[in-house]
């Protein structure tokens, strides 16, 4: 049975945040990093043992993975039926997620020990990392819809703090702000979705809520499907709005604009938050609520699928033209999340129909490992050449041997070349799409081709292309703290594909075996190789082919390079409409109309007083005259009208 010691998994990183934040940095000084890393290592060990025990000892009952609640307490009673609980829900996906979060976070901690060594705010950096890890673990372990929302906001704010870590750079500040506000906007949908769903289910607890809203003949479900707003039923609204929240965090089109800018943060942070963990929170949320989507609101699941597929394609196209190494990786992350999301979208509930679900989470797992590795590698490269731009790189394979090797493994995995992990998870997704909705299979194939192309464009541009540079500086890889995480993650990328994932994670908790169809795998792999070859032709040597083709496709190239002008549209809406039109006019109306009316009342009184005061002339005889007139009028009144 699971122990309450699971609580320690999120709480240890919290200590890692509190101690430096409350002044411990003066005690620990440069040891803060080691302190935080140590705490996280303990957490990781606990997380791994928890997951191991869950999957292989007590998790299954009668062949079905059960949900366990090792810890549960009421935090705030909202209404008579609804309460925000703080609890831990242990099931296959949360067990999987704690492992992913802990491992990637530990690697990033290790890497940062060396990478951030010379930063002035070194201690605060680790404090923020601790805060993030705590919030992310809290998020994945949540047992309650409102609890997940709370941690959701907390990861948002830690992401804000970490993107804005170099707060002296205006670009970083702007990016942090943008990231927070865009995701906040999505969270608005999330919040309203929570309110709508919880009102219908009269519960915020995941298990109760899902059960009440998915039982075919429960009164809650009937209620939720019949009550409607603007002609759409409550449950559809709720699911749609929840998905909006997820789309914001997971940078799905059209709420993706914050992710590329978020690369202003330190590179290890990008690896942790904006590649491996936080951005997949949306995928996790949909997976968590999956029975509701699959059984209660299948029409929303279609929207999920289309959004995911579109994002996958869209981001892959943009990734082909970007010149900033981190931005290419960011768009590739978006594209891969698009894959995970549409895999969920095409999945059915239960049995082998749920292959999409398993494949999606499998891809989440493998992607977290190799994308974190790619980002960390990019960090080493940037550190070595002091630039993010591809044009400043080239021929680095001898200078950065370890980075080169791991980066290559990452690129191969991402392109879906066997036997690396990405191949297996992507095969699962494509197979699920092929079986359920072939349209998405087509998009998936084309995107795979693009993926292989842009990843190897990156690889060749960085490591080949130009002649060797700086041959005298061999030790460009950095110390052991930097190379070790890369190697560990690379090892993970090589072996993790062989995990029989369907045995562990499935939509209804019943393990199933997904066999790999070799024949099916031929086409995607061929396409990937085609993409790689194209990149080889264009970028392996410094030649003009790429420039020639971009000139040929000028209009399209330019649009893609400018990310389809989405940012500009948003800028227009926020600046022109929200700030200038509404904000300015609200301030103006307040000063001039509302306050003006009030002031007018004041000055009106003054004008009136000015008029009246001339009666007070000081002339004795005019007073008397008025007095007399008054008396006569009164006498007249009393004699003729009032008896």
Partner 1 sequence: MNLLSLLLLPLLTAVVLLPLKKEVVIKGIALTGSAFQLFLTLFLYSTYRSERNNGNLQQFLFQEQYNWFPSFGISFHTGVDGISIAMLLLTSFVALAGILVSWNIQKMTKEFYLLLLLLSAGAYGFFISLNLIVLFFFLEIAVIPKYLLIIIWGSGKNVYSANKLAILLIGASALIFVGLTGLYFSLPPAVRSFDLITLSQLQIPSELQRWTFPLLFTGFGIFSALFPFHTWVPDGHSSAPTAGSMFLAGISMKLGGYGCLRIATYLLPDGAKEYANIILILATIAILYGAFATMLQEDLKYINAYSSISHCGFVLLGIGMLTKAAMSGAVMQMVSHGLMTALFFAVIGMIYERTHTRMVSEMGGLMKVTPFITTTFILAGLCSLGLPGLSGFVAEMKIFSGSWQNTGWMHRTLTILSCASIVITAVYILRAIGQTVMGPLKDASYRSFKDASWNEKTAALLLISGILAIGIAPYWLQELIEPGVEVMRLKMGIN
Partner 2 sequence: MTTPGLYHILTISTALFFIGIYGFLTRRNLITLLMCIELILNSVNLNFIAFNKYLWPEKLDGLFFTLFSIAIAAAEAAVAIAIIIHLYRNHHSVDVESAEELKY
Binding residues vs partner 1 (CB under 8 A): 74-80, 82, 84, 146, 149-151, 153-154, 157, 160, 164, 167-170, 173-174, 176-177, 180-181, 184-185, 187-188, 191-192, 195-196, 198-199, 229, 578-579, 582-584, 586-587, 589-590, 594-595, 597-598, 602
| Site residues (CB under 8 A) for partner 2, limited to 586-615 | 613
- CB of 93 closer than 8 Å to CB of 288: yes
Question: Among partner 2, partner 1, none, what does residue 611 contact (CB within 5–8 Å per kind)?
Answer: none
Nearest in space to 362 (alpha carbons), one of 411, 417, 412, 421? 421
Residue 619 in the binding site for partner 2 (CB under 8 A): yes
Question: Among partner 1, partner 2, none, what does residue 188 contact (CB within 5–8 Å per kind)?
Answer: partner 1
Distances (CA, A) of 189 to 308, 521, 551: 18, 39, 42
Residue with Cβ nearer partner 1 (572 or 638): 572
Find the binder of partner 2 among 3, 77, 387, 625 (CB under 8 A). 625
Residue 618 in the binding site for partner 2 (CB under 8 A): yes
Question: Among partner 1, partner 2, none, what does residue 625 contact (CB within 5–8 Å per kind)?
Answer: partner 2
Residue with Cβ nearer partner 1 (246 or 511): 246
Cβ at position 236, least distance to partner 1 in Å: 15
What b/e string do you get for 531-545 counting C-beta neighbours within 10 Å, with b at 16 or more?
bbebbbebbbeeeee
Find the binder of partner 2 among 577, 586, 589, 628 (CB under 8 A). 628
Residue with Cβ nearer partner 1 (79 or 515): 79
Angle, CA of 401, 405 and 407, to the nearest 5°: 115
* 546 contacts: CB under 8 Å, gap ≥ 6: 538, 539
Tokens encoding 556: 């399209």
| Site residues (CB under 8 A) for partner 2, limited to 460-479 | none
- CB of 329 closer than 8 Å to CB of 464: no
Residue 170 in the binding site for partner 2 (CB under 8 A): no
Question: Among partner 1, partner 2, none, what does residue 616 contact (CB within 5–8 Å per kind)?
Answer: partner 2
Question: Among partner 2, partner 1, none, what does residue 75 contact (CB within 5–8 Å per kind)?
Answer: partner 1
Angle, CA of 571, 573 and 579, to the nearest 5°: 90
Tokens encoding 549: 């083709």
Residue with Cβ nearer partner 1 (119 or 302): 119
- From residue 364 to residue 403, what is the string marking binding to partner 2 with x (rule CB under 8 A)? ----------------------------------------
Angle, CA of 160, 165 and 171, to the nearest 5°: 80
Site size for partner 2 (CB under 8 A): 10
What are the start-end ranges of the H helices in 116-218? 122-141, 145-163, 170-201, 206-214
Measure the CA–CA gap between 204 and 223, rounded to whole angstroms.
17
Cβ at position 156, least distance to partner 1 in Å: 9
- CB of 538 closer than 8 Å to CB of 453: no
* 313 contacts: CB under 8 Å, gap ≥ 6: 335, 338, 443, 446, 447, 450
Distances (CA, A) of 408 to 230, 384, 418, 595: 52, 17, 13, 65
Cβ at position 624, least distance to partner 2 in Å: 6
Residue 624 in the binding site for partner 2 (CB under 8 A): yes
Nearest in space to 531 (alpha carbons), one of 449, 455, 462? 449
Binding segment for partner 2 (CB under 8 A), chosen from 300-308, 365-373, 478-486, 623-631, is 623-631
Question: Among partner 1, partner 2, none, what does residue 351 contact (CB within 5–8 Å per kind)?
Answer: none
Rg (CA), the chain: 31
- CB of 348 closer than 8 Å to CB of 305: no
Cβ at position 541, least distance to partner 1 in Å: 42
Binding footprint of partner 2 on the chain (CB under 8 A): 613, 616-621, 624-625, 628
């Amino acid at each position: 049975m699971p122990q309450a010691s699971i609580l320690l998994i999120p709480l240890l990183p919290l200590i890692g945040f509190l101690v430096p934040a409350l002044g411990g940095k003066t005690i620990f000084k440069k040891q803060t990093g080691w302190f935080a890393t140590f705490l996280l290592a303990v957490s990781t060990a606990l997380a791994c043992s928890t997951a191991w025990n869950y999957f292989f000892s007590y998790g299954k009952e009668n062949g079905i993975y059960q949900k366990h609640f090792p810890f549960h307490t009421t935090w705030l009673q909202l209404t008579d039926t609804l309460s925000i609980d703080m609890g831990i829900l242990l099931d296959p996906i949360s067990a999987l997620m704690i492992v992913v979060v802990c491992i990637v976070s530990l690697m990033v901690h290790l890497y940062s020990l060396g990478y951030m060594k010379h930063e002035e705010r070194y201690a605060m950096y680790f404090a923020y990392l601790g805060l993030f890890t705590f919030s992310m673990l809290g998020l994945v372990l949540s047992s309650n819809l409102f609890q997940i929302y709370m941690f959701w906001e907390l990861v948002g704010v830690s992401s804000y703090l970490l993107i804005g870590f170099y707060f002296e750079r205006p670009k970083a500040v702007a990016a942090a702000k943008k990231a927070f506000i865009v995701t906040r906007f999505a969270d608005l949908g999330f919040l309203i979705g929570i309110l709508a769903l919880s009102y219908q289910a009269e519960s915020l607890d995941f298990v109760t809520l899902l059960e009440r809203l998915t039982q075919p003949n429960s009164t809650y479900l009937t209620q939720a499907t019949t009550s409607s707003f603007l002609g759409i039923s409550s449950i559809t609204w709720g699911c749609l709005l929840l998905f909006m929240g997820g789309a914001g965090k997971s940078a799905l089109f059209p709420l993706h604009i914050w992710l590329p800018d978020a690369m202003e943060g330190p590179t290890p942070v990008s690896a942790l938050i904006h590649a491996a963990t936080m951005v997949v929170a949306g995928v996790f949320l949909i997976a968590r609520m999956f029975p509701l989507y699959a059984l209660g609101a299948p029409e929303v699941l279609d929207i999920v699928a289309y959004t995911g597929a579109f994002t996958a394609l869209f981001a892959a196209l943009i990734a082909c033209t970007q010149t900033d190494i981190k931005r290419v990786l960011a768009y590739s992350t978006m594209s891969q999340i698009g894959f995970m999301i549409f895999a969920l979208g095409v999945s059915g509930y239960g049995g082998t129909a749920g292959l999409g679900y398993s494949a999606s989470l499998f891809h989440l797992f493998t992607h977290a490992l190799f994308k974190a590795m790619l980002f960390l590698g990019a960090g080493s490269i940037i550190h070595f050449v002091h630039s993010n731009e591809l044009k400043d790189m080239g021929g680095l394979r001898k200078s950065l041997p370890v980075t080169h090797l791991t980066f290559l493994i990452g690129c191969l995995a991402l392109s879906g070349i066997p036997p690396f992990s990405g191949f297996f998870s992507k095969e699962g997704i494509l197979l699920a799409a092929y079986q359920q909705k072939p349209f998405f299979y087509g998009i998936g194939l084309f995107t795979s081709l693009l993926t292989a192309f842009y990843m190897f464009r990156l690889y060749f541009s960085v490591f080949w292309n130009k002649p060797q540079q700086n041959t005298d500086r061999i030790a460009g890889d950095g110390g052991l703290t930097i190379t070790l995480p890369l190697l560990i993650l690379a090892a993970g990328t090589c072996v993790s594909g062989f995990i029989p994932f369907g045995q562990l994670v499935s939509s209804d908790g019943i393990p199933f075996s997904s066999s790999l169809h070799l024949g099916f795998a031929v086409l995607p792999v061929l396409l990937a190789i085609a993409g790689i070859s194209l990149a080889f032709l264009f970028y392996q040597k410094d030649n003009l082919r790429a420039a020639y083709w971009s000139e040929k496709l000028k209009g399209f190239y330019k649009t893609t390079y400018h990310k389809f002008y989405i940012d500009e549209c948003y800028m227009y809406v926020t600046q022109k409409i929200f700030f200038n039109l509404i904000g300015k006019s609200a301030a103006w109306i307040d000063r001039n109309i509302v306050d003006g009316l009030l002031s007018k009342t004041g000055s009106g009184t003054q004008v009136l007083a000015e008029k009246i005061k001339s009666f007070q002339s000081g002339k004795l005889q005019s007073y008397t005259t008025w007095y007399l007139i008054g008396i006569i009028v009164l006498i007249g009144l009393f004699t003729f009208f009032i008896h």
